[in-house]
Structure 1
């Protein structure tokens, strides 16, 4: 991890980030249910990060997105994708990205983070399916992989229904690309 630095993502990182996501997640990544919530939107303000190797190359990424958690309009964040270059798996890059993302979300006053992912991996950061029972993703997903972390106790109490995209929209031309 010593040769990796984590910084705020910039517009110049976009092509490298997309190439990393293709390498790490494969071609089916754009068909995921969580992608529907991200399409045409910008990440939540101040919550998009990249990890750079010693040569400056993007070797990891994480973003958080504004969503509304269900019918009663509970504001939350959707985390994802989290990806690390396959050559650096198990080097601590993903964990470092997660710790930073959660810490920044908390610092910025967000109340809860949701994601679809591997429960054993995300449990180490406090995520569980305990608060997602009445919530749903738009489109197909594996229910046991739908996890939440409350940054404020009780933030998801009473939340039910389908997640909806919220937050900043991309300019029309960028959203079409």
Structure 2
């Protein structure tokens, strides 16, 4: 049975191992630790299978400039599931549980860079993000989701990630 909960500091070693296993190298684990150190984390969840951390998702603060301060946005990065637990809906469960939690904290929109075939299932849209100035090359991999309708539609601001991303 899989259970989902908020990340706790005691989860750090298991989360680091998971991220290295899921991505095959330590870059994402280092990013997560840097985001925590920077104080940029808005929400972080884990999925547990028994006593094992089987999945993880992190949302960090990002800004859309110029903006009048009325849009509170978050970056979804990274989302990881241990290879032994993939294709069981854990990543989707983490996203489905976390989006209402983000909205409850006042986040208006979420930005993700990833596989459009996967993330569009959750409402992310390359078209919604198309007017934003991305630090990444153009393409369907850059997507947005509004948690507050109309919050970023047509916005032409520049997306600025937390320093830990090194962009």
Classify the TM-score, shorter chain: 0.7 to 0.9
State the TM-score, normalizing by the size of structure 2: 0.83
User: Given that residues 51 and 61 in structure 1 are in contact (C-alpha distance below 8 angstroms), is that contact kept between their aligned partners in structure 2?
Assistant: yes
1:150 to 124, 146, 156: 146
| Cα distance in 2 for residues equivalent to 1:86 and 1:136 | 33
Structure 1 unaligned residues grouped into runs of 5+: 170-177
Which residue in the other structure is 1:77 paired with?
74
Match of 1:104 among 98, 101, 104: 101
Report how far residue 141 of structure 1 moved.
Answer: 5.1
**Structure 2 match to 1:173:** none
Over the residues paired in the alignment, what is the CA RMSD in angstroms? 2.7
State whether residues 70 and 164 of structure 1, in contact with CA within 8 Å, keep that contact through their aligned partners in structure 2: no
**Structure 1 position 124 matched with structure 2 position 117:** no
CA distance, structure 2, for counterparts of residue 87 and residue 100 of structure 1? 21
Report the CA distance between 1:63 and its aligned residue: 1.1
Q: Measure the CA separation in 2 of the matches of 1:26 and 1:136.
A: 30
The answer on whether the counterparts of 2:58 and 2:79 sit within 8 Å (CA) in structure 1 is yes
In structure 2, C-alpha distance between the alignment counterparts of 1:71 and 1:156, rounded to whole Å: 12
DSSP 3-state at the match of 2:61: strand
Map of 1:60 onto structure 2: 55
Shift of 1:153: 1.1
Q: Is the 8 A contact 2:129 2:143 kept in 1?
A: yes
| CA separation of 1:113 and 1:11: change in aligned 2, threshold 3 A | same
Task: Tell me the alpha carbon deviations over residues 123-146 of structure 1, each in whole angstroms, 9 at most, x when there is no partner.
Answer: 1110011122232444x5563211
